[in-house]
């Protein structure tokens, strides 16, 4: 996980794209990423996912009467770049994104220039859940760090401070304040990358999206495997709706192991 300081967490919001390296994602890329066949999800199962959202006993997280999924990350972060692919894939099984952007992780960090999406300026609509994506910083360097983007609310900051640490994520030696951090309705949390970031190295966004449709590819086994673990967590929030997704073989198998 990438550890970020307090200054990054409380960074002031800037809606100007001059501070972000993101651009509106091509419709063809979004369509390719969000149209993975059900047969691929079932063939991959959990694939090479190295972790799954961990259950927590926390106050329910909701928005407009729907369970809320909260993501907190940053555009420069290579682990966030890795995790956004399964986030987009899983959430698209329950609803629709608008204004997704493409970006890449920092060229000066591990797994440099990992191609990915950004949730900055994106919106999401679903009959069953709500989604809030906070990109705390861009991938544009500013001083010794990166330019600020989104500012969490005090409530979101409290969630991060409380649950982005062991024993809720990682292990007893894990440091707190890492990104990405995901809260699934106050019922599950996830931190860091859930599959090997190296499988995305050197790939264009289009190449990554195409590989998602091949269940034997390393990219699909990582990203689709993780998306299935996210989907199972979300299904627990939606009372297994939609049925076609939540009663599929891959999801019922994951739920049976909890």
Structure tokens belonging to residue 131: 């989604």
For every residue of 31-67, DSSP letters joined together read HHHT---HHHHHHHTTTT----PEE------EETTEE
pLDDT at 169: 87
Q: Which structural domain range is residue 139 located in? A: 35-256
What are 113-165's pLDDT values in tens digits? 999 999 999 999 999 999 999 999 999 999 999 999 999 999 999 999 999 99
pLDDT at 173: 36
What are 79-103's pLDDT values in tens digits? 999 999 999 999 999 999 999 999 9
Average pLDDT over residues 17-38: 87
Kindly state whether residue 19 falls inside one of the protein's structural domains. Answer: no
| Count of domains observed in the chain | 1
Kindly state whether residue 211 falls inside one of the protein's structural domains. Answer: yes
Kindly state whether residue 30 falls inside one of the protein's structural domains. Answer: no
Tell me if the pTM is above 0.85. Answer: yes
Kindly state whether residue 68 falls inside one of the protein's structural domains. Answer: yes
Give 160's contacts (C-beta < 8 A, 6+ positions apart).
9, 72, 152, 177, 181
């Amino acid at each position: 996980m990438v550890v970020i300081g307090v200054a990054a967490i409380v960074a002031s919001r800037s809606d100007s794209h001059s501070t972000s390296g993101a651009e509106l994602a091509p419709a063809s890329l979004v369509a390719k990423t969000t149209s993975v066949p059900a047969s691929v999800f079932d063939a991959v199962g959990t694939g090479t996912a190295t972790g799954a959202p961990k259950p927590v006993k926390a106050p329910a997280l909701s928005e407009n009467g729907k369970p809320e999924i909260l993501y907190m990350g940053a555009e420069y972060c290579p682990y966030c770049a890795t995790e956004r692919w399964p986030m987009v894939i899983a959430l698209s099984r329950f609803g629709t994104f608008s204004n997704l952007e493409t970006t890449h992780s920092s060229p000066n960090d591990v797994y440099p220039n990992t191609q990915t999406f950004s949730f900055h300026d994106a919106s999401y609509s679903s009959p069953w859940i709500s989604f809030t994506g906070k990109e705390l910083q861009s991938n544009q360097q500013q001083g010794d760090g990166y330019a600020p983007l989104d500012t969490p609310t005090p409530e979101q900051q409290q969630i991060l401070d409380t649950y982005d640490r062991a024993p809720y994520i990682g292990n007893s030696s894990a440091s707190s304040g890492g990104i990405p951090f995901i809260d699934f309705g106050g019922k599950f949390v996830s931190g860091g990358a859930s599959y090997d970031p190296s499988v995305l190295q050197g790939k264009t966004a289009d190449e990554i999206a195409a590989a998602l449709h091949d269940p034997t590819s390393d990219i699909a086994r990582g990203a689709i495997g993780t998306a299935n673990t996210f989907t199972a967590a979300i299904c627990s929030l939606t009372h297994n709706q939609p049925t076609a997704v939540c009663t599929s073989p891959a999801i019922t198998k994951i739920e049976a192991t909890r």
